[in-house]
């Protein structure tokens, strides 16, 4: 469902990763591993179409990609339900009733998002993924500030709802989510220091 | 897209600042002018159309940096960029929300403030009409400026520097319409040109705003 | 070989190096001839006296103020379509020169205005248009300075120059609508071929035009070379950090 062929992506004018290729079939997840600064976020943003790749090709069904990072677009002056309803309306989907239970938000439905703890906010941010109905998820450190229980809630949703329904996920994480997924080490794809192709190349 | 407009309006009402500050600023500027110019009624009456327009323009400027900055910081803008909404539509709705929270209240508040400046009786109607036609352009142009400076930490001052020159045609036609109305001349041509600017910016500028947002989100 | 090859940063540095001294030399020669001829070997105007001679600075500067903006716009469009870095850097290099020309036109205009109209400043449509142009330059330069990433800055300023051009033209018509002019008509109407200045003043003026154009080209090339070098330093530093 998701095909990545020979992608090179740049940060700050210089290529960071080059020649990244992989394929993720429907119903499967891929976990990106690598030390800080290797370019996990850059790769995910490139895959999600937020920044252009220097070269290579990314293909997945049109309008099915969704990107999520630690900045999850929660409005503190809206309630939990209002936050989720907004994203459902933007994506033209209906808010599934089960979503509150899945992410343990049932008791918080009418609370202002601004009064939530960091972990609760994170759960709300992840619940958005269950609302928008997108098949191909690009997740950048989705479990930051979640406790063990919440990580299991999220992994459970990912495995039994999203992937089970034929979705795809590419996840950059240092935590063991406990889901069955291929792991891709990014270290071998690190671009050589003198790799060409970045916007700065013309000047070197 | 309506969802975005409704969310922005709801946020403006709940978070405060949106409606109140711009309007209060407008009031204060208009009140300060007689202190600077002197209490001479004839003089105030002459400069009133210009003062009202310049004050409205500055009040609109005040809230521009909030149009995208908050959504940029909390990541909403990135999420909107990957959502089915076209960014042109996002830019359009943002401008509309800004107008409803800023331009519209200013338009309604301007005629009463005209009394403070002894505005000519004939001009009240034209103050209202010209602001009603002209302030949407201020919001759309301002949205463009806000998009240009969205990634910058201290973009506020730069935003004013970028947007104010773009406001010149709107200001000239808007204030000219009121002045002509006050002098008993026909303000129709000025109003028509003002409407032309508003219509043109509403159709074309969101395209530029969306392009700018895409670049800034890279 | 396509002409775009010359826009490659390295090739640009190669071909501009020998061109630069020539363009400065020619600019100097033209300006010397034009200004010396104009200032010392033309008679005073029967009505304006010697103040008429300010024309040799005022009119070419005003022309270059507008042409510099047009050049910036074209360079921005080329960057937008073809992504030639030198094009974007040339636009950046031209802006401070353009704003200086605008300032020269405004100051000489004010000095000329005092004896002619009796005041240094009048909100005459033409003068006002230049004041507005000055503000547009200011915003454009400020935006370049404010954004760190060079490609983002190039993209955003390119869009600003396009939108700004539209609004600058709008402002010009708005200003005409708004005030009556004291300003004399254009001295060298290109479209009609006729002219409103006497031959005595016209020929030195032509030299000044040529001098200003050449000076502008020389300055833009010089500043663009500096910008290219700055970008190169930046790129080398980025590479060094990664190694």
pLDDT in tens, A25-50: 988 999 998 888 888 999 999 998 88
Residues 6+ apart with CB under 8 A from B54: B29, B171, B175
Q: Tell me if C160 sits within 8 A of C140, measured CB to CB.
A: yes
Q: In what order do the strands lie in the sheet with A55-59?
A: A14-24, A2-11, A55-59
Could you tell me if C235 lies within 8 Å of chain A, comparing CB atoms?
yes
In contact, B186 and B180? CB cutoff 8 Å:
yes
The ipTM, to two decimals, is 0.91
| Contact with chain B for residue A14, Cβ under 8 A | no
Alpha helices in C83-118 (DSSP H): 85-117
Q: What pLDDT, on the 0 to 100 scale, is given for residue A183?
A: 87
CB B126 within 8 A of CB B173: no
In this predicted structure, the answer to whether residue C193 has a pLDDT above a threshold of 50 is no
- For residue C192, the model assigns a pLDDT of 41
Spell out the residues 6+ positions from residue C215 whose beta carbon is closer than 8 angstroms to its own: C24, C27, C31
Which burial class, exposed, middle or buried, applies to C89 when counting CB atoms under 10 A from its CB (0-12, 13-18, 19+)?
Answer: buried
Angstrom distance (rounded) from CA B81 to CA A192: 31
Is residue C148 within 8 angstroms of chain A, CB to CB? no
Here the tokens at position B48 are 């009133």
Grouping H, G, I as helix, E, B as strand and the rest as coil, residue C49 is strand
Mean pLDDT, chain C, integer = 85
- Structure-block tokens of residue B25: 């600023």
For residue A9, what is the nearest residue in chain B, using CA coordinates? B218
CA–CA separation, B174 and B161 (whole Å): 21
With a cut of 50, say whether residue C230 has pLDDT above it.
Answer: yes
Q: How far apart are CA A95 and CA A31, in angstroms?
A: 28
Q: Would you call C1 helix, strand, or coil by DSSP? A: coil
- Scan residues 50-109 of C and list those with Cβ closer than 8 Å to A: 85
Q: Give the C-alpha distances (Å, rounded to integers) separating B148 from A171, B73, B133, C165, C168.
A: 32, 15, 25, 16, 18
3-state secondary structure chain A: CEEEEEEEEEECCEEEEEEEEEEECCCCEEEEECCCCCCHHHHHHHHCCCCCCCEEEEECCCCCEEEECCCCCCCCCCEHHHHHHHHHHHCCCCCCCCHHHHCCCHHHCCCEHHHCCHHHHHHHHHHHHHHCCCCEEEEECCCCCCCHHHHHHHHHHHHHHHHCCCCEEEEECCCCCCCCCEEEECHHHECCCCCCCCCCHHHC
Cβ atoms within 10 Å, residue B72: 19
> C109, C74 in Cβ contact below 8 A?
no
Q: Cβ separation of B11 and A67 shorter than 8 Å?
A: no
DSSP structure class, residue B17: S
Q: Do C156 and B168 touch (CB under 8 A)?
A: no
Phi-psi region of C77 (alpha: psi -120 to 50; beta: other; left: phi over 0): alpha
In a 13 Å sphere around the CA of B212, the CA atoms on its Cβ side amount to: 28
Q: Does B182 touch chain C (CB under 8 A)?
A: no
Length of chain B: 218
Residue with tokens 């910008």: C227
* DSSP tag of C6: G
Residues of B with CB below 8 A from C147's CB? 151-152
- Give the list of residues 6+ apart from residue B74 with CB closer than 8 angstroms, or none: A71, A72, A73, A74, A75
Digit-coded pLDDT (tens) for A115-127: 888 888 888 988 9
Does the structure show a pLDDT above 90 at A107? no
Rounded to a whole number, what is the distance in Å from the CA of B214 to chain C's nearest CA?
A: 10
The rounded distance, in Å, linking the Cα atoms of A187 and C112 is 69
Looking at residue C139, what is its pLDDT? 95
User: Residue B77's closest chain A neighbor by CA?
Assistant: A73
Range B185-211 average pLDDT: 93
Q: Work out the average pLDDT over C81-100.
A: 93
Instruction: Among A15-19, A125-129, C69-73, C124-128, name the most confident range.
Output: C69-73
Chain A and chain B share a number of CB contacts under 8 A equal to 65
CB C162 within 8 A of CB B208: yes
Quote the pLDDT of residue B93. 94
Inter-chain contact C146–B158, Cβ cutoff 8 Å? yes
Inter-chain CB proximity C163 and B162 less than 8 Å: no
Record: contact B83-A132, CB cut-off 8 A: yes
Question: Angle at the Cα of A138 (from A134 to A140), degrees rounded to 5?
Answer: 135
Strand pairing of A29-33 and A182-185?
A: parallel
CA distance B84 to B118: 51
CB B60 within 8 A of CB B91: no
The yes-or-no verdict on residue C194 having pLDDT over 80 is no
What subunits touch chain C, counting only 3 or more CB pairs under 8 A?
A, B
Minimum distance, in Å, between the CA of residue B87 and any CA atom of chain A: 12
Query: Please, are residues B186 and B121 in contact by the beta-carbon 8 Å criterion?
Result: no
Query: Is the pLDDT score of A134 beyond 70?
Result: yes
DSSP classification of residue C44: P
**Of the ranges B6-20, B69-83, C157-171, which is most confident?**
C157-171
The Cα–Cα gap between B167 and B59 comes to: 13
Closest to C85 (Cβ–Cβ): which among A14, A193, A202?
A: A202
Q: What is the pLDDT of residue B18?
A: 60
Distance from CA of C151 to the nearest CA of A (A): 8
First CA to last CA distance, chain C: 35
Task: Reduce the DSSP state of residue B138 to 3 states and report it.
Answer: helix
B17 touches chain A (CB under 8 A): no
Cα B143 to Cα B141: distance, rounded to the nearest angstrom: 5
> For the ranges A146-160, B26-40, B54-68, C115-129, which has the lowest average pLDDT?
C115-129
Pick the residue from chain C with its C-alpha nearest to A203. Answer: C232
Residue B57 CB contacts under 8 Å (≥ 6 apart), including other chains? B138, B164, B167, B170, B171
Contacts of A15 (CB under 8 A, 6+ apart): A8, A9, A54, A191, A195, A196, A197, A198
Mutating which of B75, B90, B101 best tests the A interface, going by the most A Cβ atoms within 10 A? B75
User: What integer pLDDT is reported at residue B143 of this predicted model?
Assistant: 96
Q: Assess whether pLDDT exceeds 70 at residue C176.
A: yes
Beta bridge partners of B64: none
Location of structure tokens 């940060």: A11
State how far the alpha carbon of C177 is from the alpha carbons of B1, B196, C57, C125, C170, in Å. Answer: 38, 15, 28, 9, 11
Q: How far apart are CA B105 and CA B216, in angstroms?
A: 31
User: What is the model's pLDDT at position C62?
Assistant: 92
Q: How far apart are CA B205 and CA B143, in angstroms?
A: 9
Rounded CA-CA distance B123/B106 in Å is 16
Instruction: Give me the pLDDT at residue C107, please.
Output: 92
Q: How is residue B187 written in tokens? A: 């303000």
Count the neighbouring beta carbons within 10 Å of the beta carbon of residue A104: 15
Contact C84, C4 (CB under 8 A): yes
Which one has a higher pLDDT value, A66 or B142? B142
The span from the CA of C105 to the CA of C97, in Å, is 12
- What φ, ψ does residue B20 adopt, rounded to 5°? -65, -50
B contact test, residue of A71, A95, A138 with most B CBs within 10 A: A71
Neighbours of chain A (3+ CB pairs under 8 A): B, C
Q: What pLDDT does C121 receive? A: 82
Q: Does A92 touch chain B (CB under 8 A)?
A: yes
């Amino acid at each position: 469902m998701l095909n990545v062929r020979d992608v090179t992506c740049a940060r700050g004018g210089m290529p960071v990763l080059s020649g990244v290729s992989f394929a993720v079939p429907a119903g499967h997840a891929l976990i990106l591993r690598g030390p800080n600064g290797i370019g996990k976020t850059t790769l995910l943003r490139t895959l999600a179409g937020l920044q252009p790749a220097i070269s290579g090709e990314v293909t997945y069904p049109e309008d099915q990609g969704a990107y999520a990072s630690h900045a999850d677009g929660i409005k503190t002056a809206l309630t939990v339900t209002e936050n989720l309803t907004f994203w459902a309306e933007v994506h033209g989907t209906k808010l599934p009733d089960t979503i509150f239970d899945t992410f343990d938000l049932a008791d918080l439905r009418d609370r202002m998002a601004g009064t939530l703890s960091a972990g609760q906010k994170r759960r709300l941010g992840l619940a958005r993924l269950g609302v928008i109905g997108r098949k191909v998820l690009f997740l950048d450190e989705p479990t930051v500030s979640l406790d063990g229980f919440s990580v299991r809630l999220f992994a459970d949703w990912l495995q039994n709802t999203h992937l089970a329904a034929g979705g795809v996920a590419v996840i950059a994480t240092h935590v063991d989510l406990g889901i069955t997924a291929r792991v891709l080490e990014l270290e071998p794809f690190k671009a050589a220091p003198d790799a060409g192709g970045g916007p700065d190349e013309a000047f070197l | 897209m309506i969802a975005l407009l409704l969310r922005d309006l709801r946020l403006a009402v709940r978070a405060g600042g949106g409606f109140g500050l711009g309007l209060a600023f407008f009031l204060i500027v208009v009140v300060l002018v007689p202190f600077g110019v002197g209490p001479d009624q004839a003089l105030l009456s002459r400069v009133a159309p210009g003062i009202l327009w310049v004050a409205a323009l500055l009040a609109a400027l005040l809230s521009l940096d909030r149009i995208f900055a908050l959504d940029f910081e909390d990541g909403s803008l990135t999420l909107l960029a990957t959502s089915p909404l076209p960014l042109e539509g996002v830019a359009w709705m943002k401008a509309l929300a800004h107008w409803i929270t800023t331009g519209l209240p200013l338009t309604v508040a301007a005629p009463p403030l005209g009394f403070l400046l002894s505005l000519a009786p004939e001009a009240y109607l034209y103050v209202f009409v010209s602001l009603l036609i002209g302030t949407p352009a201020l919001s759309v142009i301002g949205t463009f400026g806000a998009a240009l400076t969205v990634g910058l930490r201290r973009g506020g001052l730069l935003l004013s520097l970028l947007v104010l020159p773009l406001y010149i045609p709107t200001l000239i036609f808007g204030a000219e319409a009121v002045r002509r109305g006050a002098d008993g001349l026909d303000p129709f041509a000025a109003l028509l040109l003002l409407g032309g600017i508003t219509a043109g910016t509403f159709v074309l500028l969101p395209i530029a705003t969306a392009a700018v947002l895409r670049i800034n989100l890279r | 070989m396509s002409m775009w090859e010359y826009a490659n940063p390295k090739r640009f540095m190669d071909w501009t190096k020998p061109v630069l001294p020539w363009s400065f030399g020619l600019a100097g020669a033209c300006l010397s001839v034009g200004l010396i001829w104009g200032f010392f070997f033309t008679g005073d105007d029967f009505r304006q006296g010697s103040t008429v001679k300010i024309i040799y600075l005022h009119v070419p500067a005003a022309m270059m103020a507008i042409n510099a903006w047009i050049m910036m716009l074209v360079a921005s469009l080329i960057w937008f379509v073809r992504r030639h870095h030198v094009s974007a850097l040339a636009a950046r290099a031209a802006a401070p020169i353009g704003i200086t020309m605008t300032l020269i036109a405004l100051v000489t205009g004010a000095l000329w205005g005092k004896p002619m109209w009796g005041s240094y400043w009048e909100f005459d449509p033409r003068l006002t248009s230049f004041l507005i142009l000055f503000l547009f330059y200011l915003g454009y330069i400020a935006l370049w300075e404010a954004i760190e990433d060079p490609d983002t800055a190039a993209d955003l300023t390119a869009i600003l120059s396009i939108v700004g051009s539209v609004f600058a033209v709008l402002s010009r018509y708005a200003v005409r609508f708004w005030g009556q002019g004291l300003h004399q008509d254009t001295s060298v109407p290109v479209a009609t071929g006729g002219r409103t200045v006497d031959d005595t003043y016209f020929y030195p003026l032509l030299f000044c035009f040529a001098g200003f154009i050449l000076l502008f080209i020389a300055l833009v090339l010089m500043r663009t070379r500096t910008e290219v070098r700055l970008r190169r330093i930046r790129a080398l530093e980025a590479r060094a950090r990664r190694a």
